[in-house]
Chains A and B, each alone.
Chain A
Amino acid sequence: MSTDKLVEDLQEVLGDGRVRVDLLERDLYLKDASIYGGGRPTAICFPKTTEEVAGVVRVCAEHEWPFVPRGSGTGLSGGATPIGNPVIIATSKMDEIISIDPEVRIAWVQPGVLNLDLTNQVAPLGLHYAPDPSSQQVCSIGGNVANNSGGPHCLAYGVTSAHVVALKVVLPDGSIALLGDESPEPEGYDLRGVFVGSEGTLGIATEIAVRLTPNPPSVRTILLVFDAVIDGAATVSGIIAAGLVPSAMEMMDRAAVQVVEAFTHAGLPTDAAAVLLVEIDGLAAGLAASEETISEVATANNAREIRVAATPEERELFWKARKSAFGATSRLAPDYYLHDTVVPRTKLVEVLEKVYEIVERYELKVINVLHAGDGNLHPLLSFDSREEGVLERVARAAEEIMQASLDAGGVLSGEHGIGVEKRDFMSRMFSDGDLAAQDTLRACFDPASLANPDKIIPEGSRCGDFALAYLATTGKPLPKEVWV
């Protein structure tokens, strides 16, 4: 089918310069930060305003042509990956902070604003934007909204959904709607809540009202060292059971610590089985009491060392170690696959032990960096894709880890989303009726199935085998620089 008329109509809305169709440029948009690919966009559009997005979407709707919203392309589940030949609507030129109200702590931003840029902008006001994914320097707030992204400090402060007040969106028919407003209990159904986490399948967020969070009066960062992973995990549960919700609780296993230490020289003990990074914030007396409780719990669970960051520099160093974990793994092997599942906190040990067992059986290497406080596992399988049959082993292992998480009462994804990666596994978590209800909601927003179709909800015709889906979409060695 000729796409000339489609492109012409798009150019009518945006002008030639902001509708890109040359092959070289289109090939920059074959994937997000995941390994999933397969399609090639027909055109990439760079609107600047809500009205321009609406214009572009209306053209797509008229041509019955699918479109895929795209932020910074750091997604890890293939959410922004084109399937077939959609139009990609990139928000990178929608990067303005529209307004900031420091008194009631609400900011309106365009979706292309980068997560950390917003925090930096409001820092002089003593405020920050709380959801802090590790990718925060580069990911967009629109992408955060679409994936309901989390970060280490979401343990106490809540994931993206808790920080989105209202949304202006362009619906898949090209019309504009305001979902929610700045009042606390807007009339009607909570469409704002429904839109967050919908991975670009319900339309495009073009203006986003987010809540800003005051910076804590003081912070304490504690590093706990264990000779057994089970003790680290028991400490996590113990801290929660003792009535504390730290602002962050992150764990690394031995393999992770070794990789990180070689890279950052943060002074982490490379012979430890696990280190736990616990951060608490608040007022003086509460902080002191919490610190004491954490020490007690850690000691009762055989912590061999309890180190409180003495200076802001030491705190920075602890966090640098945690945040560079994935970057540092390129030292282990050329390729890796990052998993994302969640289990009840009390099942962490059980599932981690399964992860080790599975990985060993498939002769793979794993490092574990966990948002332990949330029960969010991120096993990272490292391998060399030149090795014969390794892709299939990775795929099988990943599938077993996912099943082990589900069996432990967990869920498919904690923060990376379903995208194409886990779409065909949705039926392992949900019944046909559950999925039909989800699809009903999708169809209310997008009866013509034009907004990022083929994501989240499995199609009957799709095969449910992770390994096959994986090989079919890649078919070739993984890119050298999958950066996670």
Chain B
Amino acid sequence: MNLTGLDSGLDVGVDSGLNAEHDIELLENFATEIGSEGSVTVRGGGTQWEVGGLPKADAREVKAPTGVWSFAPADMVVRCGAGTTVAELNEKVGRAGQMLPFDPPSPAEATVGGLLAVGQNSYRRLRYGPLRDLLLQIRFVNSLGQLIRSGGPTVKNVSGFDLCKLMVGSLGTLGFIAEVILQCQPVPEASRWFSGEAMTIPNKLLTELWQPSSILWNGEQVWVLLEGHRRDIEAASQSAGLAECEPPVTTELTSFGKDSRRISLPPATLKQLPKYFPPGSFIAEIGVGIAHLLADQEVPADMLPQPDQRSVALQREIKARFDPSGRMNPGRSVWRDCSV
């Protein structure tokens, strides 16, 4: 354990300072490659290549720079190229007992930039919050080929408009992420899954358990991820009457297969899922609102939140102003029912 905190003292194969600029050349090369003309698309690990539609065939393909460039464990802050894979990032910060709770299914391929651009959150969001709250600073390349920075390297910051939030989930349609600074989390001492029977929605567990990392429910069974001190986990699972089990994310969820559908619902409406879907054909993230559906199930239109038309108009305005010629990831759209 590093008790003084002043000396990061850990060899994680990166610079310890946050201001090292040796990588700026890589960022500038990325910007130059993107340039200011012609359709262009950016590929990460290609694990979510179809989300929002395929890029137009004439789009030039670029890749974001890779590398974990600086890491200050006593700041719990890491800076890396957007092309870095989630596995590499977690391996590096893991050496200091820290992590990014991103949990993509293929961490060895999925890139930090791709993950942020797609904006899907981990099943552990209940505890760690959404991706966007861990993104402290971003450097992206805009449609003019300029490198733009927003946010700051500190864990707290209200200096100007927050373009980080705008970029998360924007599918590369406003700019391509080049580099990010992320806030790490401590790896919990213990991490265990439990399960139990639950014919009705297990909202009660939300109140009973202190900061559960995940509560999943399929209409007849509940799975709970508890993280923290061993003895606390033991006590909590016992008093809730839960039994230890295999992680459902590698068993149940993966068994849904690649064609399963993932929908985002107000958490208060999850209790209606059994009305539309038989038990076992859905897995809901309780307290969060994500529902995974076995393939080929119709989702009633009134179940999904309807986009606010004024807000959509505003978003179109943003796309038009940030990318007037429509060259950034053409063919992709952040809206379900319309193309950009």
- Complex Cα distance, B236 from A242, in Å, reads 25
Q: Do most interface residues of chain B lie in helix, strand or loop, or is the interface mixed?
A: loop
Binds A, one of B73-81, B82-90, B103-111, B250-258: B73-81
Residue among B6, B72, B129, B264 making CB contact with A349, cutoff 8 Å: B6
- Which among A43-51, A305-313, A437-445 touches the partner chain? A437-445
* Stretch with Cβ within 8 A of B (4 or more), from A88-96, A359-367, A368-376: A368-376
- List, in ascending order, chain A residues with CB within 8 A of B321's CB: 440, 443-444
CB contact under 8 A between A162 and B6, given known A150-B156, A189-B166, A444-B317: no
Residue contact A434 to B150, C-beta cutoff 8 Å: yes
Cβ-defined contact, B307 with A344, below 8 A:
no
CB B154 to nearest CB in A, in angstroms, measures 4
Kindly identify, within residues 106 to 165 of chain A, every residue whose CB is under 8 Å from any CB belonging to chain B: 106, 126, 147-148, 150, 154, 158-159, 161-162
Judged by a CB distance under 8 angstroms, whether A472 is at the interface is no
From B152, which residue of chain A is reached at the shortest CB distance? A411
Chain A residues positioned under 8 Å from B285 (CB to CB)? 184
At the interface with chain B, which of A15-23, A173-181, A270-278, A320-328?
A: A173-181
**Which residues of the partner chain A approach B288 to less than 8 Å between Cβ atoms?**
184
Give the total number of A-B pairs whose CB atoms are below 8 A apart: 298
One digit per residue, 1 when the CB lies within 8 angstroms of any chain A CB and 0 when it does not, for chain B 170-196 equals 100010000000000111010000000
- What per-residue 1/0 map shows which CB atoms of B192-220 lie under 8 Å from chain A? 00000000000100110011000000000
**Chain A neighbourhood of B148, CB < 8 A:** 433-434, 437
Closest to A180 in B: B311
* Contact across chains for A191 and B158 when beta carbons are under 8 A apart: no
For A285, give its contact among B75, B169, B232 (CB under 8 Å): B232
Say whether A217 contacts B210, CB under 8 Å: yes
The answer on a CB contact under 8 Å between B97 and A243 is yes
Given the contacts A184-B130, A191-B311, A426-B159, A346 and B74 also touching, CB distance less than 8 Å: yes
Give the distance in Å from the alpha carbon of A317 to the alpha carbon of B206 in the complex: 32
Taking a contact as CB atoms under 8 Å apart, the answer to whether A433 and B146 are in contact is yes
> Which residues of chain A from 394 to 423 have a CB within 8 Å of any chain B CB?
409-418, 422
Q: For B155, list chain A residues within 8 Å (CB).
A: 342, 345, 374-375
> Of residues 129 to 166 in B, which have CB atoms within 8 Å of A's CB atoms?
129-130, 132-133, 142, 146-150, 152-166
Looking at the assembled complex, report how far the CB atom of B264 sits from the nearest CB atom of chain A, in whole angstroms. Answer: 4
> How many residues does chain B have at the interface if contact means C-beta atoms less than 8 Å apart?
93
**A301 proximal to B (CB < 8 A):** yes
Q: Would A441 and B318 count as touching, CB distance under 8 A?
A: yes
Contact (A183, B158) CB under 8 Å given A242-B2, A284-B232, A438-B150: no
Contacts A104-B267, A409-B153, A418-B160: A189 and B6 contacting too (C-beta < 8 A)?
no
Q: Does B24 contact A (CB under 8 A)?
A: no
A3 / chain B contacts, CB cutoff of 8 Å: none
Q: Which of A262-298 contact B (CB under 8 A)?
A: 282-286, 289, 293, 296-297
Task: Write the chain B residue with the least CB distance to A298.
Answer: B3
Query: CB within 8 A of B119: which of A179, A185, A286?
Result: A185
| Structural contact, B154 and A374, CB atoms closer than 8 A | yes
Q: Name the interface residues of A203-239: CB closer than 8 Å to any CB of B.
A: 214, 216-217, 234-239
* Most chain A CB atoms below 10 A, which of B129, B149, B152, B158: B158
Chain A residues within an 8 Å CB radius of B154: 342-344, 374-375, 409-411, 414
Q: How distant is A106 from chain B, measured CB to nearest CB, in Å? A: 8
Q: Evaluate contact between A283 and B74: CB separation under 8 angstroms.
A: no
Q: Return 20 A-B CB contacts under 8 Å, by A number.
A: A104-B203, A104-B287, A154-B156, A158-B133, A161-B165, A178-B310, A185-B169, A190-B168, A194-B161, A198-B162, A237-B6, A241-B74, A286-B232, A296-B3, A344-B18, A418-B159, A430-B160, A433-B142, A433-B147, A437-B150
Which residues of B come within 8 Å of A, CB atoms?
Answer: 1-6, 8, 17-19, 72-77, 96-98, 119-121, 125, 129-130, 132-133, 142, 146-150, 152-166, 168-170, 174, 185-187, 189, 203, 206-207, 210-211, 228-232, 235-236, 264-268, 285, 287-290, 305, 307-308, 310-312, 314-315, 317-318, 321-322, 334-336
| 3 cross-chain pairs, A with B, having the tightest CB-CB distances, nearest first | A193-B165, A237-B5, A238-B5
